Structure 1
Amino acid sequence: MKHLYFYVLLLFTSCTVCNAQNQQRSYYPIEPETKEVVTSHGPLSITRNIKQDKKGNIWIAAFDGIFRYDPSGLLKIGGKAFTNITSEVSKARFFDVLEDRKGNFWFSSIGSGVFYYNPSKTHKDAFQHFTTKEGLANDRVPHIYEDKSGNVWFGTEGGASLWDGKSFRTFKPNAGLTNADPNDNDINSIVEDKTGKFWIATRGNLFTYDGKKFTIFTHNGDPFINVRTIMEDKKGNIWLAGAPGLWRVNGSTFTNFTLNFTGYVYEDRKSNIWTSSKPEYSYNGGDRWALSRYDAKTLLSPKPTATDIMQGYEDYKNMLFGILEANDGSIWFGSLGGVYRYDPAAPLRAGERVITAFKDK
Structure 2
Amino acid sequence: MDDGLSHNDITSIVQDKDGFMWFATRDGLNRYDGNKVKVYRHKVNGRIPFDVNYILSLCQDQGGTLWIGTKGISRYNAKGDSLEYFCQKTKEGNAPSDMIVSIKVNSDGWVYFLEKGTGVYCYKPKSNDFHFYPFKESGQEHTTFSATAMWIDGSNRVWLGGDKGRLFLLDQSSGRYHSMKIDCFKSLNDQLQVITGNEHFIYLGFQYSGIIRYDLDKKSFSFLTLGQDGGEMVFVHDILIDENILWVATEKGLLIYDETTKHTTRLMRDYFDPLSLSDNAIYAVYKDRDNGLWVGTYFGGINYVSLVQNRFIESYYPLVDKYSLKGKAVREICQDSVGNIWIGTEDAGLNCFDPVTKTMTPMDIGLDHYNVHGMKIIGDELYIGVFSGGLNIYNLKTKKIFHYYISDDRYNVDNSIYSICYDRRKRIWICTQGGVYWFDRSTGKFTPVKGLEEVYVHNICEDSAGNIWLASMGKSLICYTTGGEVVNYQETLYQKTGCIINRILSVYEDQEKRLWIGTSSYGLIYYNPAEGQFIRYSMSTGLPDDMTYKAIQDNLGNIWVGTNRGLVRINPSTNNVRVFTKSDGLLTNQFNYNSAFRDMQNRLYFGTIEGLSVVDPSEIKEDLSFPPVFLTGFQLYNREMYPGKGSPLEQSITCTKNWN
C-alpha distance in 2 between matches for 1:349 and 1:178: 63
Match of 2:224 among 236, 247, 257: 257
What is residue 517 of structure 2 aligned with on the other side? none
Deviation readout 1:130-182 (Å, 9 max, x if unpaired): 37797324331111111222111111121111122334322123356659775
Q: Does structure 1 conserve the Cα–Cα contact (< 8 Å) formed by 2:10 and 2:302?
A: no
1:272 aligns with 2:245: yes
Q: CA deviation at 1:313?
A: 6.0
Q: CA deviation at 1:113?
A: 1.1
Matches within 5 A, 1:23-172: 40-71=3-34, 80-86=35-41, 92-109=53-70, 112-119=71-78, 121-123=79-81, 127-130=84-87, 135-157=94-116, 158-165=118-125, 166-172=128-134
Secondary structure at 2:301's aligned position in 1? strand
What is residue 266 of structure 2 aligned with on the other side? 308
What is residue 208 of structure 1 aligned with on the other side? 169
What is residue 295 of structure 2 aligned with on the other side? 333
C-alpha distance in 2 between matches for 1:53 and 1:181: 39
For 1:106, give the aligned amino acid: W
C-alpha distance in 1 between matches for 2:28 and 2:318: 35
C-alpha distance in 2 between matches for 1:355 and 1:170: 50
Deviation readout 1:57-88 (Å, 9 max, x if unpaired): 111111111111112xxxxxxxx101113365
Aligned in 2, Cα 1:231/1:146: closer, same or farther, shift over 3 Å?
same
Aligned in 2, Cα 1:56/1:208: closer, same or farther, shift over 3 Å?
same
Q: CA deviation at 1:103?
A: 0.6
Aligned in 2, Cα 1:87/1:168: closer, same or farther, shift over 3 Å?
closer
Q: Does structure 2 conserve the Cα–Cα contact (< 8 Å) formed by 1:291 and 1:311?
A: no
Q: CA deviation at 1:246?
A: 0.7
Q: CA RMSD in A?
A: 3.5
Pair member with larger Rg = 2
Q: Does structure 2 conserve the Cα–Cα contact (< 8 Å) formed by 1:148 and 1:192?
A: no
| Structure 1, 59-68 or 308-317: larger mean CA deviation | 308-317
For 1:171, give the aligned amino acid: Y
Q: CA deviation at 1:225?
A: 5.1
Aligned in 2, Cα 1:100/1:224: closer, same or farther, shift over 3 Å?
farther
Q: CA deviation at 1:217?
A: 2.1
For 2:200, give the aligned amino acid: G
For 1:320, give the aligned amino acid: I
Q: CA deviation at 1:224?
A: 9.0
Match of 1:291 among 246, 250, 254: 254
Identity of aligned residues (%): 19
Q: CA deviation at 1:275?
A: 0.4
For 1:65, give the aligned amino acid: G
For 1:276, give the aligned amino acid: A
C-alpha distance in 2 between matches for 1:170 and 1:338: 37
For 1:342, give the aligned amino acid: Y
What is residue 13 of structure 1 aligned with on the other side? none
Q: CA deviation at 1:272?
A: 2.0
Deviation readout 1:299-350 (Å, 9 max, x if unpaired): 134xx12111225869856532111112343321222225222325464554
What is residue 236 of structure 1 aligned with on the other side? 200
What is residue 77 of structure 1 aligned with on the other side? none
What is residue 643 of structure 2 aligned with on the other side? none
Q: CA deviation at 1:203?
A: 3.9
Q: Does structure 1 conserve the Cα–Cα contact (< 8 Å) formed by 2:148 and 2:193?
A: yes
| Structure 1, 146-155 or 127-136: larger mean CA deviation | 127-136
For 1:96, give the aligned amino acid: S
C-alpha distance in 2 between matches for 1:317 and 1:181: 41
Q: Does structure 2 conserve the Cα–Cα contact (< 8 Å) formed by 1:49 and 1:62?
A: yes
Q: Does structure 2 conserve the Cα–Cα contact (< 8 Å) formed by 1:342 and 1:355?
A: no
C-alpha distance in 1 between matches for 2:138 and 2:245: 40
Secondary structure at 1:130's aligned position in 2? coil
Aligned in 2, Cα 1:325/1:131: closer, same or farther, shift over 3 Å?
same
For 1:144, give the aligned amino acid: I
C-alpha distance in 2 between matches for 1:326 and 1:313: 27
C-alpha distance in 2 between matches for 1:163 and 1:136: 11
C-alpha distance in 2 between matches for 1:254 and 1:355: 44
Secondary structure at 1:135's aligned position in 2? coil
Deviation readout 1:100-146 (Å, 9 max, x if unpaired): 1001111111xx31112231x2246x634337797324331111111
Q: Does structure 1 conserve the Cα–Cα contact (< 8 Å) formed by 2:89 and 2:130?
A: no
C-alpha distance in 2 between matches for 1:218 and 1:351: 52
C-alpha distance in 2 between matches for 1:193 and 1:50: 20
Deviation readout 1:243-283 (Å, 9 max, x if unpaired): 33212222225442236221211023x542100124xxxxx
Q: What is the aligned residue count?
A: 287
Unaligned runs of 5+ in 1: 1-8, 11-39, 72-79, 279-288, 357-361
For 1:48, give the aligned amino acid: T
Which protein has greater RCO, CA pairs closer than 8 Å, 6+ apart? 1
What is residue 14 of structure 1 aligned with on the other side? none
For 1:42, give the aligned amino acid: L
